Every structure is written in structure tokens, then in C-alpha cells.
Amino acid sequence: MRALVYQGPYEVAVQDVEDPAIQDPSDVIVRITTSAICGSDLHMYEGRTDAEPGITFGHENMGVIEEVGPGVTSLSKGDRVVLPFNVACGFCTNCRRGKSAFCLTVNDPGTAGGAYGYVGMGPYPGGQAEYLRVPFADYNCVPLPAGTEHESDFALLADIFPTGYHGVELSGMQPGDTIAVYGAGPVGQMAAYSALLRGASRVFVVDHVSHRLDIARDIGAEPINFDDGDPAQQITEALGDYGTDRGVDAVGYQATVSSGEEQPAVVLNQLVDTVRHTGGIGVVGLYLPSDPGAPDEHSAKGELLYRIGRFFEKGQTMGTGQADAKRYAHQLRDMIIEGRAEPSFVVSKDIPLSQAPDAYARFDKREDGYSKVLLHPGMD
Amino acid sequence: MRALVYQGPYEVAVQDVEDPAIQDPSDVIVRITTSAICGSDLHMYEGRTDAEPGITFGHENMGVIEEVGPGVTSLSKGDRVVLPFNVACGFCTNCRRGKSAFCLTVNDPGTAGGAYGYVGMGPYPGGQAEYLRVPFADYNCVPLPAGTEHESDFALLADIFPTGYHGVELSGMQPGDTIAVYGAGPVGQMAAYSALLRGASRVFVVDHVSHRLDIARDIGAEPINFDDGDPAQQITEALGDYGTDRGVDAVGYQATVSSGEEQPAVVLNQLVDTVRHTGGIGVVGLYLPSDPGAPDEHSAKGELLYRIGRFFEKGQTMGTGQADAKRYAHQLRDMIIEGRAEPSFVVSKDIPLSQAPDAYARFDKREDGYSKVLLHPGMD
Amino acid sequence: MRALVYQGPYEVAVQDVEDPAIQDPSDVIVRITTSAICGSDLHMYEGRTDAEPGITFGHENMGVIEEVGPGVTSLSKGDRVVLPFNVACGFCTNCRRGKSAFCLTVNDPGTAGGAYGYVGMGPYPGGQAEYLRVPFADYNCVPLPAGTEHESDFALLADIFPTGYHGVELSGMQPGDTIAVYGAGPVGQMAAYSALLRGASRVFVVDHVSHRLDIARDIGAEPINFDDGDPAQQITEALGDYGTDRGVDAVGYQATVSSGEEQPAVVLNQLVDTVRHTGGIGVVGLYLPSDPGAPDEHSAKGELLYRIGRFFEKGQTMGTGQADAKRYAHQLRDMIIEGRAEPSFVVSKDIPLSQAPDAYARFDKREDGYSKVLLHPGMD
Amino acid sequence: MRALVYQGPYEVAVQDVEDPAIQDPSDVIVRITTSAICGSDLHMYEGRTDAEPGITFGHENMGVIEEVGPGVTSLSKGDRVVLPFNVACGFCTNCRRGKSAFCLTVNDPGTAGGAYGYVGMGPYPGGQAEYLRVPFADYNCVPLPAGTEHESDFALLADIFPTGYHGVELSGMQPGDTIAVYGAGPVGQMAAYSALLRGASRVFVVDHVSHRLDIARDIGAEPINFDDGDPAQQITEALGDYGTDRGVDAVGYQATVSSGEEQPAVVLNQLVDTVRHTGGIGVVGLYLPSDPGAPDEHSAKGELLYRIGRFFEKGQTMGTGQADAKRYAHQLRDMIIEGRAEPSFVVSKDIPLSQAPDAYARFDKREDGYSKVLLHPGMD
């Protein structure tokens, strides 16, 4: 089959690879109809990870079941499904509690969590390909209505919609709360959108890319451009109050300031200032225990100067980590089916799989129109 | 009346001060029967705060109501009460949600939270004195059974028992969980004890003072001496598992390592190692946004090198802040009355108020028998 | 001052009564700008309670502070406020937990909860009058922006908006859930509206009055007319599933069936059928321990034939009781201020206080346009 | 193999039946070391259900894995395991939320939940036999330490310990709360014991069998004999307060009063009286939608006269249903391993499987020493 394969830094190619096959009784094979390119794919693309050439990328996958293992109970050939990016077993300590992003079964001992097509996340090829093997399929497949309706919305259930939602959940948001979302990329947009769906009274979105801030305004949030001054101060003034009830970090360790300089802790520390006493912070932007390309020796080990004194004084809470996408995917799916949610407003382009290498290059340069690309193997 | 008054660094004296009087209709005056010396009093005593001479110390107070303001509804002269250290109004945004440690009414605009006898916590004299004025008395007094029974247990309801309990609550502990408590001082002991009362399966207590570790063993916890090697590794080995479900920091920014060197972030970072993926950390040890005596320039601003990369990778949560002592005092009181809890095992000495200056000096030198001293103005 | 006073069954009159005065230091006097007539006022109006002639009605009140007691901290003359219908102290066991509808201070020993202008709810005259005394004012007043904007929306914060919201909260609803609301009167509409604000995927509203069902459709709910057949079956068929995740009873003991016959338990039992296994039911429709006008001897004692066998088999939960309006009023106020919520769509008429007797008579006959009347003493 | 087989009302026999075999890839076969007789087995034994002759009884099972299906991931031959009584899939809507007692996969469409050896709970033979087939084994097996230690404690993890714990959980109990448990049979004892493990301040246990009440006293609860008068009143007087914070019904529909008369709703209604305003009731005693042997026509349909008026007035909550034993079994197992819990104090006798028919007969007559019998096929 055709698949997008990593060749080395800044190089991916669509090439022939072996078809996936049923390996375990609980597997299914899915024919991919849509697989999205994710910002976190760029970490590998740019060579800032340990990814070796040969990996098939793609952890935001959906499609139609092509083949079913003998141990699968609830699925049949022809079923349309979306696959939360976390490969998980469903029965370990963490899965049982809904923490499927930290499955203790699907990766090496001492680690937690698996994913399709991602370095360090277990031996699971990605779905930017014609077919995908899905282990523990009864648990890992989220069933969808047959047909092609809502394809772009459903595709976002694999990662960014649940990830944005998870950021809001980690912050402890309640209806009526005010909330600040740092980062207006696809995940930040999904966080802001989730906050609105859950009844936030005011949602601030912080970035400095104006067309991203325009999208935030369009969905009902209030844009804050950090090129115009300290975002925490701008938000506090807009509020006329001590700070927002909640905050979400949808940026992570590659945070930059107006000058373009990378300052890994800047968003975390701005959130401490932005959120009021007793408020909560949800972190879904990525932080790593090891980053060879970091601006200094401590950041390289994932140690950042965090304003813990002020954080403690304010009695804030912080929840972190990769989203348990499976935990939210069903309820968000139902909101899409009923027309309550339409997250596909963040999708910028639909292209055939064959055009993926070009799309990676343009996305990496932040070209307009490539912020959220959906690949469709069937369009070739 | 007689009261313990701060004279300057390393000097306190019992002297005559003006009797407190009803100032607002909601006030009561309490005749103090017991007021404890707290580790956080030493911050002022040692001159490591902005405290000015003239402050009467004492935020762990109990006694009998002597006089009742005309706006008080539920209390009468002669009622025995304990006073959670947080002065709070009961009706602001934070108090309504039970976050009485962050009351928005009782201190200056822009700050949150008040306390008796503490610098920066509002204009409320402390209770290491014969009498104490209690504002918003209906809210701030926790009624006790008449008499003198359980005096030492009830005195701990003002601060350290609820504070230890709060650490466990912030960690998200559930019955059956394993938990590690860093620090075997009075608050750490109360955290370990609270975890056991709530059904923890295993409780580890980390310190390097052997008699403190003995107390931990006596109540059913497992002592870990950090002089014997990395505590996170010791705990992981004892568990035979990835890490504890929960952790509590009962040390704070004055954490030291085996050599005696102060390393403000060492406990926080050890907790990240100690607690397993998806686990929770509760921080009740104090961290400050400003510490002139800190070992380096960043610590002086409350910015510490925190292992955020690993914290995120493990998907941990952290809750922080001063305890809302009021929130727990009633239920813990009921456990004492029914004989389910007897926290006074941490009390090391009962002395008259007149001996307080000597006790401060000895406590500051960590002399044996002075780790938790109860002052009794009536013993003079 | 002028006030609406109960004269006896089916008779109310606007007459002169004594002006309220500050009685306790924590009181304020509010000049009423709006006071709504509530369906529960009709219980007294129709003589189906123990209400004695002389009571001033009105528990849904808002206005401007006219006079402030010496023990009041946070309020000033001229402040615009809305008063949650529950009179509460803010410091008893129940108030501290947010259960202000069950305050243990403001009513007789052995009872719980107080209200303005309601039989059995303590000695507090109602606000269908020019002025109202508000005890424990710091706790009982919810501050509003100055001016007259959103007057009708804010007025609903006193009772029906929080009450509808409480029904949803008691049901345990999460975003994405399906929910069925029985009763399309003002409280049922508010419950359906609250469910939508909180991200319900589908909301069914059951009634048999067509113009009420039309309103439900207008806000985005799905109307179910029980004259067309068993509502549980209609909903199950519409869902194509086992049942809704959640249900709300906004009808209470005066439930009727298509024939018009009163069957006190019919809604509760239909909810057991409507809601799926493991689902939750929130009951805000009124049930009473004593109802002299009940259709049978058991109902007269508040004992109803409840389908407990099926309820248990399905593993459902049920939460009940008067709403703690104070608990929700602040967050719902903020949603109104920010334009996220506009509950005044249920208001049918604004009239001067002097026309209240006529409005009661017409409301009691369920005349069109009298389902939710706001009285304005200042319009006279 | 040898198995205990139902022959008809009041008749069971140990006879040869076919050995179980792996049917699905996710199955394991367990060699039973212990299987307990449960009070709910008597419903079938007495012929008060639709159970047909030929059923092998036994839903409280533990043992050692003998054979492993090819789709099983986490288990090996020789592993010691206990089997929560609910057969469940681990991936349906309800299982994903931890509601494994209401699995939507393992039983007929329209029903929820499966169990070993129980009428109406799916096609799963029971474990009062030498061997047992366990479907979805990765999910349904709870691993235990190798060996024979704690055999009696671990056996109770299959049902009654989690069921008692679930009753407390459904009631919403917090540490420091007071709680009343109705019924001092094995499940009631486990509920009282669980409440104590979780930090209840006072636990009342209501029954009228004196040796059961003695056991309750021995574990630290306060016995209430309902032959001595209304239990709600006795508890209220002992408390000197409005009522307990929480209550558990561990009796169910076969509740009797002092005279011996069956009154199906008596415990539910006494709980409404016993529990205070805003309190919670957890119901784990069984109620059925159909009971041919009921004392009246309504009870026969599972419709009971419930004091809903008073329940609503008090603003109470009620949670019901079979326990999701899987949800609690791991944490309770850890408490047993660490010596925090030793639930086997309720076990009255250990006998070989061959003596089971005699034990059923004696248990059915409530003979002393037969209240909780453990069968051991290996003892024969």
C-alpha cells in the first residue's frame, strides 16, 4: 500500500510499504478515509526527536473497517470509525480509570501510553497511509454513523477536539467561568470552542498571529495580541477583576515572545499571572523531559524556571498531560451528530495523500492555508 | 492583657498590651485557653519576613467566648470554640466555594486571605495572648463541646490537622491509594495521619530526622530516610511498582538535602519522580513569591527550576496553597469527639504563655521536645 | 407602603402595610424594582396550604438597596441586587456546603430553609411590595451592574433560572448527554435552556400545552406531546436507543395525565422508563409530605407508588429538593451580563404592582400571557 | 467436573457436568479454589425466580488460571485471580464509565449486566464447581499475589466487600460523616466496615438479630435493634441531632418488621426519616420490577409506597443498583494486602463443595454458623 514515510529531517515521501495484517485476535484493519497532519508531527519532521527514518506518520485517523480479527466483538467489516490517537488496552489500571493516554500495556515497561505513528509511543505504524492496523479494536474504535457526512468534524475526534476539550477539563472550568487560552493554533481554537460549548461566560485567546485571532473572534472569544503588551495585564484590564477563573496552555515548550525568541516557560508563567487566586490551569501544550534543541542547559532537561512562589500564594491548581482522547470522543461525536458542535472550522485544506510531502513543507513554514490539513488516501 | 509581642529578629517578649474590644457587630472576644506555636511563626521570628516589631503572634487559637457583638447569631458567652487560622468573611466569591484561605474581604484589595497574628495577612492581632478579637464570628468560630476534654486535639484544628488533611485532599487521594509525604514535621505527620484515616493502603514519610521518622512508623506509616539515598528510588523499590498514586509536599521552599544545603525545588522535583503517571501532588509546604534570604537570584523571586517536562509526560496534577482550615475543621472535630482521630500525638509540650520566649528560642534551634508547643495563658 | 396581601382563598389585595425596618445589624432594606409571580404562589392563593390571611407574597425579588444595617460589610445604599428566594445565614452546616435552601438558622428548630413571603418558610414578608427587609444581607444579596439593563433576565435569578439549572445539576448531566425534561412551564423551560447552555446533545421537553411546546422548540429542544402517547416510548423511539442519559421532573405532585386526572407519581415513574440504565434523575417539581387536597389517602401523606424495582434494576440515581438558588445565581448572572444567557424569553408580561390581583386570577385560570408575570411597584 | 446444580425449589445437588472450554479468544478457564454462597442465591434456591433446573450456581469466585485463550494479553496459566461477579466487556458505554454492573455487551439487547451462575444474567455458568470459564478475561480477572494467603479475604472481593463499599459510595459519604446502615447481614457488615475504613465518625447498624448486632459492635459500629422501637428515632436520639449524614439500605424488598411481617418499603422509608436534610441514601439491597411472591399486587410489580414528599422536602439524594464490583476490587485488594482491611470476619464456615447442598439447606433456615459459607472444591 501507499504510505507517508519519514526519510530524515525535513524529508517525507509517499512510498509503497507492506500492507498491515491482523496480528492479534483483537485487531482490525481500517481503510483510511481521512488522516490529519498534526503540529506534533513537525517535531519529528524537523528532526527534533529520536525518530528514525522509516516511520509511517499519522495519529489522527478515521476510516472504514476492512478486516476483523476473530477476537473482536462489537465491530464488523464496513463500520465507519474514528481512532483516538492513544493506542490503549482498556483493562490496565490507567485505562480502567479513563486515563487511556497512559495505558500500561501497549508500550515498554516503565513507560505509559501508546500512539499510532509516533516515536517512542510503541510499535504502531501511523495512518497517513491507505490502511491501518488497530489493536484492541473493541476499545480503540469509536463508531460513527455510516456514510460520509461530517467527515471533517469526525476526523478531529482523533486528537485536537478532545485535546482542546481536555485542556478545559484539566482547568476545572464550570459553566459561567471566565477562561484564558494561550495559543490560537488548532488545539487552542478547540480549547476555546470547548469552553464556549460548556458555558464559559468569557473566553480570551492569546496569540500574535492576526488571522488566528480573527478565527477566535469569529467563534465568540476575545482575542488578545501579545505583541500589544503583557497578555495577563490586558486580560485583567478587560475583566476589571483579579484574573480569569481558568487558563489553558495550548502552546507548550516552544513558546516564543514578541521578539521571536524561544522562552520555554513564558506561557506557564503568564498563566500564573492571568488566573486568579484559587483558579485552575490546564496544560495540553507539550513539555518534554529532554529537548536537545533547547535554548539552555536546564530547558534541555525539561527543567524550567517556574513561578512556583506566586502559583502557591494564589492557591492555584495545574493539570497536565496528553489527552485521553477516548474519554471524550463519544460525547463530542454525539454533539457533532446533533449539530451542537462543528469543529471543522479549523480545517484549512483537504488534499490527496500523494500531496502530503508538499503539505508538510508548507505547514513547517507556517504558510497560510496549511495550519490544519486533512489527507485523503482515496482522493488519489 | 499579657501577649507575646515581636521585638525584632530572634526576640519576642510577653508584655502588657491593650485589651481587644468589639469593633464590629459581628465580632466576638475569645479568652484564649490554648494557642500553639507554628513553624511558620519562625519565619517572622528569624526576620525572614517584613514583619515589624509590635506584632502579637499566634494563629492557632482556641478558647472560650467572653463577649459577643450585637450582630452575632449563633454564639453565646461561655461557648468553647476553636478558630481556623484563616480570618474570612463567609460571603465573598472564594468563601462561598469553601476557599476561605483566599477570602477577598478581610485583607487589602488585590490580595486574598487573612490570618491572626501574621505579617501581610491583614490587621488581626494574634492569639498568643489572653484575649483575641474574632471578626465575622458566626463564620470563623468552630463550636466545641463544653469543658476541657480533647483540648490538645482540638487546638490542632486551627491549623496543622486541617493543613495536613488539605495536602492529602489536594493530591486527590482515594481509599486504597499509596501516598508519599515529604517532611515529617508536625504538618507532614498530620498529612500522613490524614491519609491513614481516609484509607490509604501505604503511606511513606520522607525525612532525615530519626525521631520524626519513628513517630511516622508508630502511626502506621513507612519511614524513608533521605540520608540513605534518593527517596523516590527507595519508595519505588519498596513498592515494586512505578510510583505512588499520590504525594504531599509538607516541606516547602526551605528544603534541604543531606549535606544541609538549601535547595528550594528539591522536594517538588522528587515528588515528580516519586508519583506515578496520572498521579496527583498536593503542596502545603510554603513557597513564596519573594524570599530575600534565598540561595540564588531566581529563588529570591520564587522562580524555581521545576521538572515540568517530566511532570507533563507523566500527566500529573498539582494542587497548592494555604489550607482552607474552616472547610475541614468541623468534620475533623467530629472525628476527634468520636475517638476516631487523636492528632495530639504530635504535641511535644504544654507551657504557660510566660515561657513562650524561651520556647521560641529552643524551637528555633530545633531542640528536642519543642517541635509542637502549646501555650496556655491560663497556666500562668 | 403598598404590598400584595393574601386575604384568603382566591383573594389577594394591594393594601397599605407598615414599612420594613432594619431589625438586625446584618439587614438591608431593598426598594423593589421587580418581583415575579411564581407558580408556587398559587398553592397559597388557592388555599391548598396552611397560609393565614395577612401574608405578603413574593419570593422572586430584585431592586436597589435603600438602607444598610451597621453590620453589613459589602453593600451600600444604591447598589442594585437580586435576592435568591432562599433566606439563609451563610455559616450553618448546610450553608457552608452551598446547600442554602436548607439553612438551619433562619427557620424553626427541626426545619431547614427559609424564604420570603411563603408559608412555613420563616417570618419573612414577601417582596410583592415597595420595600423588602433582607436579613444576613452580605450573604443573601447578589450584586448586579448598576442601571436597568437586563432587568427581566436578572429577575429570574431569584428562583426559576437557578431552579431549572439545579434540576439539570441534580441529574448529573455532562456535556454531550441526552436529557428529558418533564414539564414545559417556566421552570421546565429554564431546565431545558440550562441543559443546552451546558452542552447537552439532545433535549426533550414533555408537556401537552402546545404553545409551551412551541417555546421549547424555539430554544432548540425537541417537544414531546404526551397526548400523542406514552412519552417515554416516544423519546426512546426518537433516540433509537435505550433511553436518555438524564431526566428532570419540573412538574411535581400535581401531575396530570391526558384525561386531566391528577396522578401524583406519573412523572416520576415515566422518568424511570425514560432514563437509561445508570442514568440520573433531578427532581425540582414540588412533592409534599402532606397534601390535604390529594386524590387518595396515601398521596395525602406524600406516599406515592414509585417504581422502585425498575429504578433499582436500572441502577439510576435521584436528586431532589428546592434549589440552592444562591449557589448558581452568580455564575448565571455572569452569563447574562456577557450575553451568553437570556432567560427572559419565558416572561409573558410586565405590569404595575397594582394590577397584581387581576394577574393572580388570570394566572390561576392559566390564561394566555400570564404564565410568567413580572410586577414592578415603580410602574404605578 | 463436579458442580453444584439447581434441581428445583429447595433442591441442589453436586453432580458431574461437562468441563468448560475456551470458546472465545479472550476467555480463560479458572480452577476454582473458593466460591462463596450468597444470600441472593437463596432467591433462586427458594424458587422465587424464573431459574430453570440445570443452572450451576456461584457468582463469588476465585481461583487459579488453568488455560488461556489466544486473545488474552495480561494473564498466564498459574495466575491467582478473583472474579468480580459482574461479567462485563470493558469497552461498552457503561463499562468505559466504570459501570461494569450494567455492561451492554454480555446479555440480551435491552438488558444491562451479566453475572456467573444467575438467572437472567446471561449464559454464564456459576463457579460453585471445579472450573469456570471467564469471558473478556483481561478485563474480568483481578490479579492476586500468588499463594494461599488472605484466601478468605480475597474471596469477598467478588461481591460482598465491593457491594458494601458501593452502598457507602452511593450515599456520598465523606470522612467525618455519620452514617446508618440498615441490615447486619454480610453485605450490611461490609457497608459498615467500609464506612469505618473511609473515616466515618459514627456508624449505626440496624437489625434485630442479636449476634449480627454483636459483630457490628465488635468492628466499632453502634448497634440499633429495631425490636426496641423505631430505629430512626433511636438513632436521632443517640445523635442528639437532626439525623445522620448518610444511610445505606443493605436489606432490600424482603424487609420485615418486628412482627416478622414482610413490608417491602419499610427500610427505604425509615432511611428517609433517619437521614438528615441534604443527606444521601445508597441502596444495594435488592429491589425487583417483578416479584410473584410479594405481599400485595403493587409490590408484585415493584411499585412501593415511598415517602417521596418527605424525601423531597429534605432534599435528599438516592443512588441505587448492583455494585460495579470491578470498580472497587483492585483498591480493596490492595488494602487487604497491606493489612488495612480484613473483611473475612464475616465468614462463618469453610467446607468442601460436596457439602454445599447441606449448607444451602441450613443457610436457608438461617442456622447459626451458615450466614457466610465458603466452598472449596479442592477440599473434597
Q: Across the interface, which of B102, B277, B302 has its CB nearest the CB of A315?
A: B102
Around Cβ C114, how many Cβ atoms within 10 Å?
A: 28
Rounded CA gap, A277 and A313, in Å? Answer: 8
Cα separations (Å) of D334 from B221, D219, D346? 15, 20, 19
Q: Across the interface, which of D289, D315, D316 has its CB nearest the CB of C309?
A: D289
pLDDT at D293: 80
pLDDT at C295: 85
Is the pLDDT confidence value at C263 over 90?
yes
Pairing of strands C349-352, D2-8: unpaired
CB contacts, 8 Å: B342 with chain D:
none
Rounded CA gap, B1 and B16, in Å? Answer: 5
Amino acid found at B13:
A
Average pLDDT over residues C189-203: 98
Contact C139/B26 with Cβ under 8 angstroms? Answer: no
Whether C300 and chain A come into contact, CB under 8 Å, resolves to no
ipTM exceeding cut-off 0.90 for this assembly: yes
pLDDT in tens, B100-147: 999 999 999 889 999 999 999 999 999 999 999 999 999 999 999 999
C-alpha cell at B177: 491509594
Confidence of residue C241 (pLDDT cuts 50, 70, 90): confident
Q: What is the dihedral of CA D300, D305, D311, D313, to 10 degrees?
A: 150
Rounded CA gap, C302 and C290, in Å? Answer: 6
Using a 10 angstrom Cβ sphere, with 0-12 exposed, 13-18 middle and 19 or more buried, the burial of residue A66 is middle
pLDDT at B99: 97
User: Do you know the residue count of chain C?
Assistant: 380
The residues that bridge with B131 in the sheet, in sequence order, are B31
pLDDT at D172: 98
Average pLDDT over residues C169-196: 98
Contact B304/A305 with Cβ under 8 angstroms? Answer: yes
Contact A249/A284 with Cβ under 8 angstroms? Answer: yes
Whether A34 and chain B come into contact, CB under 8 Å, resolves to no
> What part of B 226-285 touches D (C-beta under 8 Å)?
none
Those residues whose C-beta lies under 8 Å from the C-beta of residue C2, and which sit 6 or more positions away, are C14, C15, C16, C17, C129, C130, C353, C354, C377, C380
C-alpha cell at D245: 449524614
pLDDT under 70: residue ranges of chain A: none
Contact A106/A87 with Cβ under 8 angstroms? Answer: yes
Residue for cell digits 506584632? B55
B320 with A319: Cβ contact below 8 A: no
Confidence of residue C336 (pLDDT cuts 50, 70, 90): very high
The residues that bridge with D319 in the sheet, in sequence order, are C317, D282
Pairing of strands C373-376, D304-306: unpaired
Confidence of residue C49 (pLDDT cuts 50, 70, 90): confident
Amino acid found at A351:
I
Confidence of residue B225 (pLDDT cuts 50, 70, 90): very high
C-alpha cell at A359: 503539505
The residues that bridge with C115 in the sheet, in sequence order, are C86
Whether C319 and chain D come into contact, CB under 8 Å, resolves to yes
Q: Positive or negative CA dihedral for C347, C373, C211, C221?
A: positive
Is the pLDDT confidence value at C38 over 90?
yes
Is the pLDDT confidence value at C70 over 90?
yes
Rounded CA gap, A195 and A161, in Å? Answer: 11
B98 with C93: Cβ contact below 8 A: no
D338 with B174: Cβ contact below 8 A: no
C334 with A201: Cβ contact below 8 A: yes
Q: Residue B274 phi/psi, 5° resolution?
A: -75, -35
Helix (H, G, I), strand (E, B) or coil at B82: strand
Q: What is the largest CA-CA distance in chain B?
A: 61
Output the tens digit of pLDDT for each of chain D's 380 residues.
Answer: 999 999 999 999 999 999 999 999 999 999 999 999 999 999 899 988 889 999 999 999 999 999 999 999 999 999 999 999 999 999 999 999 999 999 999 999 889 999 999 999 999 999 999 999 999 999 999 999 999 999 999 999 999 999 999 999 999 999 999 999 999 999 999 999 999 999 999 999 999 999 999 999 999 999 999 999 999 999 999 998 889 999 999 999 999 999 999 999 999 999 999 999 999 999 999 999 988 788 899 999 999 999 999 999 999 999 999 999 999 999 999 999 999 999 999 999 999 999 999 999 999 998 989 999 999 999 88
A5-23 in b/e form (b: 16+ CB < 10 A) is bbeeeeebebeebeebebe
State the smallest CA–CA distance between residue D220 and chain B in angstroms: 10
Please give the domain boundaries of chain A with CATH numbers for all domains: 2-159+324-379 (3.90.180.10), 160-320 (3.40.50.720)
Is the pLDDT confidence value at B206 over 90?
yes
Rounded CA gap, D196 and D176, in Å? Answer: 10
pLDDT at A293: 80
Whether D331 and chain B come into contact, CB under 8 Å, resolves to yes
Q: Positive or negative CA dihedral for A39, A41, A45, A50?
A: positive
- Alpha carbon C298 to chain centroid, angstroms: 26
CB contacts, 8 Å: D97 with chain A:
98
Residue for cell digits 463544653? B146
Is the pLDDT confidence value at B241 over 90?
no
Average pLDDT over residues C118-137: 97
Give the containing element (helix H, strand E) for C41. Answer: helix C39-45
Q: Across the interface, which of A98, A105, A327 has its CB nearest the CB of D73?
A: A105
Rounded CA gap, D317 and C42, in Å? Answer: 27
B26 with C24: Cβ contact below 8 A: no
Those residues whose C-beta lies under 8 Å from the C-beta of residue C358, and which sit 6 or more positions away, are none
State the smallest CA–CA distance between residue D88 and chain C in angstroms: 15
Is the pLDDT confidence value at B294 over 90?
no
Residue for cell digits 464556549? A196
CB contacts, 8 Å: C335 with chain A:
175-176, 199, 201
Whether C292 and chain D come into contact, CB under 8 Å, resolves to no
Task: Kindly report the average pLDDT of chain B as a whole number.
Answer: 96
pLDDT at A48: 81
C190-218 in b/e form (b: 16+ CB < 10 A) is bbbbbbbbbbbbbbbbbbbeeebbebbee
Rounded CA gap, C84 and C61, in Å? Answer: 8
Cα separations (Å) of D150 from A309, D30, D146? 47, 18, 10
D25 with A70: Cβ contact below 8 A: yes
Whether B290 and chain A come into contact, CB under 8 Å, resolves to yes
Confidence of residue B174 (pLDDT cuts 50, 70, 90): very high
Q: Across the interface, which of B199, B202, B334 has its CB nearest the CB of D176?
A: B334
From the list C324, C316, C323, C322, the residue with the least C-alpha distance to C281 is: C316
Whether A291 and chain B come into contact, CB under 8 Å, resolves to yes
The conformation of residue C57, written as its DSSP 8-state character, comes to: P
Using a 10 angstrom Cβ sphere, with 0-12 exposed, 13-18 middle and 19 or more buried, the burial of residue D333 is buried
From the list C239, C233, C223, C245, the residue with the least C-alpha distance to C174 is: C245
Those residues whose C-beta lies under 8 Å from the C-beta of residue B278, and which sit 6 or more positions away, are A94, A97, A99, A102, A112, A321, B314, B315, B316
pLDDT at C293: 80
pLDDT at D95: 97
User: Do you know the residue count of chain A?
Assistant: 380
Q: Across the interface, which of A174, A330, A338 has its CB nearest the CB of C331?
A: A174
Confidence of residue B380 (pLDDT cuts 50, 70, 90): confident
